[in-house]
Structure 1
Amino acid sequence: MRGVTTQSDDYGRHNLFEDSGYHDAVDGGTALSEPEDRLGYDEGRTPQWHGGLSFGLLIMRLVLGGTLGAHGLQKVFGLWGGPGISEFSRILGDQGYTSQLTVLSWVGGVTEIAGGALLIFGLFTPAAAAALLSVTANAVYLKYQAGFFLGSGGGFEYHLVLGGIALALLFTGPGGISIDTNTPWRHRPVPFGIVGLILAAGAVVAVTFLFRR
């Protein structure tokens, strides 16, 4: 009869919720009442395991941290055919920077190496993501006049994608496969993400005004 709910219907919906991967059963299998708990926290504020989400965030961290970390090693040590500090300083001069080019080269390269390594391990994730966001945002600022697509003019699409990953990680946190698992920024990523976003924007402004006189 229409409008009548049977016990079998309730049982089916309950199993469907459990099978979704976003349910932690406690107290004999009853669903948790707090929405936050359904996203992966028990009453003791301990992050719970959600394999798909944690693995997806790990992939994002490895891609971003590995890519920019490798670019940092190219800039600082000249690995894999990279420019090294001297040549990178010259490149920065060609891009419009006029002050303390060697210092800026070291800052940029070390930021990519350190931020990339921290992100790979999931350690101090908000700081690492904010640092890499500032690097990629600055690259987008330098290249936006060349257009969106890479092509022969060197557009900003590549750096925009990397910056988007960094921005996302600021607000998602590192996931369960990380050293940061039991940290405040894993429990409450949004406030730390907002702070990281502000710091990243400040870093871009500071680099622009200090090194592009």
Structure 2
Amino acid sequence: MEKNQEIALTEMRKSVQKLGTSTEKYGDPTLMRFLIARSMDPDKAAKMFVQWHKWRASFVPNAFISDSEVSDALEDRKIFLQGLSKDGYPLMIVKASKHFPSKDHLQFKKFVVHLLDKTIASSFRGREIGNEKLIGILDLQQISYKNVDARGLITGFQFLQSYYPERLAKCFILNMPWFFVSVWRMVSRFLEKATAEKIVIVSNEDETKNFIKEVGEETLPEEYGGRAKLVPLQDVVLAPMED
């Protein structure tokens, strides 16, 4: 680790302590995500970490959200978890044509946390390091107006930005219909620059080739140019974590 990173980490730990929270249970890779998200500013990173810590304690008091808590959303079978990409990132696929805006926004937020936590946990090698990332695919094929959920998309990206800093490696958007362009423009206003730079709208043959190459044919389902089968999120069983 570079000297300036070590200094920033030390300063961040001190700032977190001053704000009444402890970093004792968290290693450098976890704290570095918050520093990177706040341009290596220790005070801003500490504030973000403390906000995340308090949010996590209140919103996810049991450390995870179980399948039973989000069973209605899982029934739609719209989220798929495909194993690791060529670079070792878990691949999560959202089929938007199977999604319908939720009337219960709190329940939707729980589902977002459930799917993000499970996707990230699927990359653990028995124990969390703290810097694991994910790749997302938003497949808009065959969507209609009743599937459009700008509020849900904004919530998903805001959760990634606020509570899962530097967890997103890349997000690919496939099969975007013409009527969704204006929706995406609106959603984009809520994206931080660092998030926007990780989003790729795949719209031609060259971009499709690059997308397949970056994810890897072994992990990518057949319908996207790979060799794998789609695996619904709830069918993925994670190995128990080490103590």
**Does TM-score exceed 0.5, indicating one fold?**
no
More helix by share: 1
More strand by share: 2
TM-score if structure 1 supplies the norm length? Answer: 0.30
